[in-house]
């Protein structure tokens, strides 16, 4: 278990290596010495994922309807 004093585990955008931020502000990568920007916004939401699933089902259902209308003479 990591100690609370180590802070949050971060990812260096340049090297792709993981490191702990040691609760410092600004967050500096120990590998490159560059400041790491933190994106606080969520890239996806659970509601958006649920909507995507419903849309995918609807599209799949539409394909089945289109295939049943094709006449194989």
Contact 15, 29 (CB under 8 A): yes
**CA atoms of 58 and 8, how far apart (whole Å):** 41
pLDDT in tens, 1-41: 678 899 999 999 999 999 999 999 999 999 999 999 887 76
Average pLDDT over residues 42-62: 66
Q: pLDDT higher for 19 or 69?
A: 19
Helix, strand counts (H, E) of the chain: 1, 2
**CA atoms of 47 and 19, how far apart (whole Å):** 31
The domain tally of the chain equals 1
pTM of this structure: 0.51
Q: Which domain holds residue 48?
A: 4-69
């Amino acid at each position: 278990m990591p100690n609370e004093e180590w802070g949050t585990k971060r990812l260096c955008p340049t090297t792709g290596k993981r490191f702990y931020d040691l609760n410092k502000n600004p967050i500096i990568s120990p590998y490159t010495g560059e400041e790491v920007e933190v994106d606080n916004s969520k890239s996806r939401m659970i509601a958006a994922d649920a909507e995507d699933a419903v849309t995918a089902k609807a599209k799949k259902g539409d394909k089945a309807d289109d295939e049943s209308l094709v006449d194989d003479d």
